[in-house]
């Protein structure tokens, strides 16, 4: 039966190959594998979700017509990806697996095997692996911080997957701080506080993403404080991620800040060129994409911001090649990425630019930012400038203090906390700061 199916599929491919360009055929059809033929249905395996979507959206009728030409009958087509059973064959084992995956909420694509190690993330990767190998014994809590799209979430999910692979009975919970907050609010409104606490305190591993968003939310911080204590005292593993280290999260309670610093703090920086190229090669390999090395080097040299944009650019180039029926060349990549690359070079925001914009909007002199004057007319705009510098530049707290007259980093923290609180309470001030921010970004 398998041999007959292979013969049928080879005949189908011969018909399709004539209808497509070599690039489209090699990219989308060549990697498809026939799985079974029964009940007037042919099940085909696509290498990944992306290819599966393209096949279903663009080539389904072409494949159906080619099959009909070969077997002289109409057949339904069902696409699956490796490791996935067809809809008609899914049983209790798959259902149980889906339930488990929903419980832990881990992305199956985020594992240690798919994580590309470079100088920018080597320490964070080593720390994550150590925690995964010995939960609650190596570093507890593990606090990972870094910019958007640099791999924090990937490492957190990888830890969860590794722990579950070693002990499937481990209770692993991944949650964003926003979801934690929303569930807390709902539990209070619906009088289900006990149920909420049981959910988060009777687990073995808690992974909380983007913890910075609980800053300023007193009720959430109070509940998380007690959840943290309950888990830590029970020798359960806690992994936390943020876009900045604990000491730089504004309006975060000191008792939480200190607990976040109990274990190990690991940072992830933006990847260098070599790591970006390695990331693209890994992505192309996982997705079975045929992309010349020179194209990946071109993309890596143009996209610096984060890994998600980097991988998205690769997919965009491949899709553009297929949709236009053209070979993947530097010229095609330039055309496909012209909007991304132009937008990937934002206006550089400096301290001097921030001082100039704030001084114009609050009618003070540039020298006032570094002066010792403490009148509200001077101190308040100075605090806003410090806040904007913290939000819009990569300067550390001590460096920001130096730029504003050699002030201590605790002064900068106070300024950021104060302005952050004022923005939540004063809509007019928020509108004014948003206006200044937009001007600084060139919006």
Binding-site members are 149, 151-153
DSSP state of 426: -
The H-assigned helical ranges of 20-108 are: 22-24, 49-54, 60-71, 92-104
Whose tokens are 């489209």? That residue is: 24
Distances in Å between the alpha carbon of 255 and those of 136, 225, 345?
Answer: 20, 8, 39
Tokens of 94: 């798959």
Number of separate helices (H) and strands (E) present in the chain: 21, 8
With contact defined as beta carbons under 8 Å apart, do 263 and 246 qualify? no
Return binding residues for ATP: 149, 151-153
- Strands 237-242 and 205-209, by their bridges, are parallel
Nearest to 380, CA basis, from 410, 415, 334, 329: 415
* Contacts of residue 57, Cβ cutoff 8 Å, sequence gap at least 6: none
**Nearest 5°: CA angle at 157, between 156 and 162?**
100
Residues near 432 by Cβ (< 8 Å), separated by ≥ 6?
Answer: 361
- Tell me how far apart the alpha carbons of residues 313 and 308 are, in angstroms, rounded to a whole number: 9
Structure-block tokens of residue 172: 């692993």
Tokens of 398: 């001590």
């Amino acid at each position: 039966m398998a041999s007959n199916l292979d013969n049928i599929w080879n005949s189908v491919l011969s018909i399709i190959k004539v209808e497509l360009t070599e690039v489209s055929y090699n990219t989308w059809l060549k990697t498809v594998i026939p799985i079974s033929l029964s009940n007037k249905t042919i099940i085909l395996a696509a290498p990944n979700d992306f290819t599966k979507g393209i096949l279903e959206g663009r080539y389904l009728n072409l494949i159906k017509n080619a099959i009909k030409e070969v077997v002289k009958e109409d057949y339904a087509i069902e696409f699956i990806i490796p490791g996935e059973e067809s809809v008609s064959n899914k049983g209790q084992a798959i259902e149980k697996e889906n339930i488990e995956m929903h419980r832990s909420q881990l992305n199956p694509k985020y594992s240690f095997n798919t994580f590309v190690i470079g100088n920018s993330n080597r320490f964070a990767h080593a720390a994550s692996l150590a925690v995964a190998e010995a939960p609650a014994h190596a570093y507890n809590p593990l606090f990972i911080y870094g910019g958007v799209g640099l791999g924090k979430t990937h490492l957190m999910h990888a830890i969860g997957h590794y722990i579950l692979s070693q002990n499937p009975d481990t209770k692993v919970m991944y949650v964003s701080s926003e979801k934690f907050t929303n569930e807390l609010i709902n539990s209070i409104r619906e009088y289900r506080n006990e149920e909420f606490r049981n959910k988060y305190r009777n687990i073995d591993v808690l992974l909380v993403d983007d913890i910075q968003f609980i800053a300023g939310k007193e009720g959430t911080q109070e509940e998380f404080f007690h959840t943290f204590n309950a888990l830590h005292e029970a020798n359960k593993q806690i992994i936390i991620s943020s876009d900045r280290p604990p000491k730089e999260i504004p309006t975060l309670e000191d008792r939480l800040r200190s607990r976040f610093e109990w274990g190990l703090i690991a940072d992830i920086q933006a990847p260098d060129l070599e790591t970006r190229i390695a990331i693209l090669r890994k992505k192309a390999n996982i997705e079975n994409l045929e992309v010349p090395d020179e194209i990946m080097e071109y993309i890596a040299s143009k996209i610096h911001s984060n890994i998600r944009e980097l991988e998205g650019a690769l997919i965009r180039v491949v899709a553009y090649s297929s949709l236009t029926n053209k070979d993947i060349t530097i010229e095609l990549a330039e055309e496909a990425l012209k909007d991304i690359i132009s937008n990937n070079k934002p206006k550089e925001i400096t301290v001097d630019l921030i001082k100039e914009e704030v001084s114009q909007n609050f009618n003070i002199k540039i020298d006032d930012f570094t002066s010792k004057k403490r009148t509200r007319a001077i101190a308040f705009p100075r605090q806003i400038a410090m806040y904007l510098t913290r939000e819009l530049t990569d300067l550390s707290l001590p460096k920001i203090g130096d730029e504003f007259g050699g002030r201590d980093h605790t002064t900068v923290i106070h300024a950021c906390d104060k302005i952050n609180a004022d923005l939540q309470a004063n809509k007019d001030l928020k509108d004014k700061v948003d206006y200044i921010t937009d001007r600084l970004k060139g919006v």
